Amino acid sequence: MPASFENDQRPAATGASPLTDAAWLDTNAKQGSLVGLRVLDLSRVLAGPLCAQMLSDHGADVIKVEAPQGDETRLLGPPFVEPGQAAYFSAINRGKRGLSLDLTTPADRAILEALLVNADVLIENFVPGTMAKWGLGYDEYLATAFPKLIYCSISGFGDTGPLANLPGYDAVLQAMCGLMSINGEPQTGPTRIGVPVVDQVTGYNAFSGIMMALWARIRTGQGQRVEATLFDSALSMLIPHAANWMNSGKTPALTGSAHPNIPTYNRFEVGDGQIFLGIVNEGQFKKFCKHIQREDLLSNPLFNSNASRMTNREALRHEMEVALKEFNRAELCKDLMALGVAAGPVHTVPEAFQQPHTVARDMFIQRDDYQGVGLPIKLSKTPGTAGVRPPRLGEHNPDIVR
């Protein structure tokens, strides 16, 4: 085990004896930068499990600890991979071992404490105060009993402030923190972003916080508490809308697919569908106009700068789409990209995963035991790998408890 992950000085929990390394070894050989890291994943739904899956993808030994009724995402189908396991659950729980414990009982809490003797990281996303109610609070007990432990708490609102200790879900936070107010068309009104983006960003924030805490532990020899909340994460995503409001006093409005500062960064209709153009500077705008044979737009005072194009964005959009109707989306995007002008077809989900580049980047995992999305973080010398299929509820109880 790498020295930076050693925890052999951690005191044993009362009434429990340390587990041997053999009890932690997975039957599947691990590889990656986090080999030797031991993680207890007590979280459920999305943000916490995603964070733990990322740790597993890069070599950590992750035990998913579930209540007897299981993580609720097991039932959020159809579709189901198998009875009792929805595809949703499969997306964020690969590479883990499954342990079912009832932490409301002393016997199962003792098992968890025995596991903590050799754990580096604990991730939980209970309503704040739940762990303390069970006698497992970080400040009240774990920080002293397991001083090297990295304790990651994920919640909706955190444990300070007027909304402390309240439950939170992705779409509710999208609404409360302004994300819905800038997403959608004027005719449809505020709209939830189509993926649980707040949950996902919170999972990434938790992952980053754990990595920082592990680095700090190398220097200090001490663990610490890492907190990631949906509320904080949602507010942090308001770029550039928050800065625009703070400096102009104007409330950001619904813009559909458009950018609030760049009129040529938007979705446009072409002859056989829709594309998204990412034209962000004058050089790209010149190349684009030349390619679509509308160089007259460059000399028009209504469109000769980003500021003037912002003022006249609807007129510009009309002129662009008249010209774009003559083009095929695939060929146009290919030609524009070759010129250095970012452009992409608006794909369906199947089309996105059928792209040759998706295969080349190993972003579509297709195995006999598992299908899923590949690893977005790639390391040259210690690459991660997608682990085995997600565990069935309590699948590894006999091995782990023994």
Residues 91 and 197 in one domain: yes
Residues 123 and 24 in one domain: yes
Residues 201 and 285 in one domain: no
What value does the mean pLDDT take over residues 316-337?
95
Residues 319 and 225 in one domain: no
**CA dihedral (357, 362, 363, 367) positive or negative:** positive
User: Has residue 212 been placed in a domain?
Assistant: yes
Residues 227 and 297 in one domain: no
Structure tokens at 56: 């597993």
Note the pLDDT of residue 402.
Answer: 80
Q: Is 199 a catalytic residue?
A: yes
Could you list the residue range(s) of the whole structural domain that residue 22 is in? 3-236+378-401
User: Has residue 198 been placed in a domain?
Assistant: yes
pLDDT in tens, 105-161: 999 999 999 999 999 999 999 988 899 999 999 999 999 999 999 999 999 999 999
Residues 108 and 147 in one domain: yes
pLDDT band at 256 (very low <50, low <70, confident <90, very high): confident
SS3 100: strand
pLDDT in tens, 168-180: 999 999 999 999 9
pLDDT band at 22 (very low <50, low <70, confident <90, very high): very low
User: Has residue 248 been placed in a domain?
Assistant: no
d(CA 352, CA 363): 10
**Structural domain tally of the chain?**
2
**From the CB of residue 245, how many other CB atoms can be counted at a distance below 10 Å?**
14
User: Has residue 75 been placed in a domain?
Assistant: yes
Cβ neighbours of residue 48 under 8 Å, at least 6 residues apart?
41, 42, 123, 124, 125, 152, 154, 203, 206
User: Has residue 152 been placed in a domain?
Assistant: yes
SS3 81: strand
Residues 133 and 275 in one domain: no
Q: Which of 184-193, 200-209, 321-330, 346-355 has the highest mean pLDDT?
A: 200-209
Residues 382 and 342 in one domain: no
Which member of 71, 199, 272, 362 is catalytic? Answer: 199
CATH of the domain at 17: 3.40.50.10540
pLDDT band at 7 (very low <50, low <70, confident <90, very high): very low
pLDDT at residue 3 above 50?
A: no
Kind of pairing, strands 121-124 and 38-41?
A: parallel
Note the pLDDT of residue 255.
Answer: 81
pLDDT at residue 10 above 70?
A: no
pLDDT at residue 4 above 70?
A: no
pLDDT at residue 234 above 80?
A: yes
Helix axes 197-220, 47-57, angle to 10 degrees: 50
- Domain-ending residue, one of 299, 327, 346: 346
Note the pLDDT of residue 9.
Answer: 35
pLDDT band at 31 (very low <50, low <70, confident <90, very high): confident
Q: In which element (H, E) is residue 338 found?
A: helix 329-338
User: Has residue 256 been placed in a domain?
Assistant: no
Note the pLDDT of residue 29.
Answer: 64
Residues 336 and 396 in one domain: no
- pLDDT: is 10 or 384 the higher one? 384
Provide the mean pLDDT of the chain. 91
Share of the chain above pLDDT 70, in %: 93
Helices (H) and strands (E) in the chain, counts: 17, 13
CATH of the domain at 304: 3.30.1540.10
Q: Which of 40, 24, 29, 11 is nearest to 401 (CA)?
A: 24
pTM above 0.95?
Answer: no
Note the pLDDT of residue 100.
Answer: 97
pLDDT at residue 27 above 50?
A: no
pLDDT in tens, 68-86: 999 999 999 999 999 989 9
pLDDT at residue 6 above 60?
A: no
pLDDT in tens, 44-58: 999 999 999 999 999
User: Has residue 365 been placed in a domain?
Assistant: no
pLDDT at residue 224 above 70?
A: yes
d(CA 138, CA 153): 10
Structure tokens at 385: 């790998």
User: Has residue 126 been placed in a domain?
Assistant: yes
Note the pLDDT of residue 401.
Answer: 85
Kind of pairing, strands 225-229 and 150-155?
A: parallel
Note the pLDDT of residue 84.
Answer: 87
Residues 296 and 386 in one domain: no
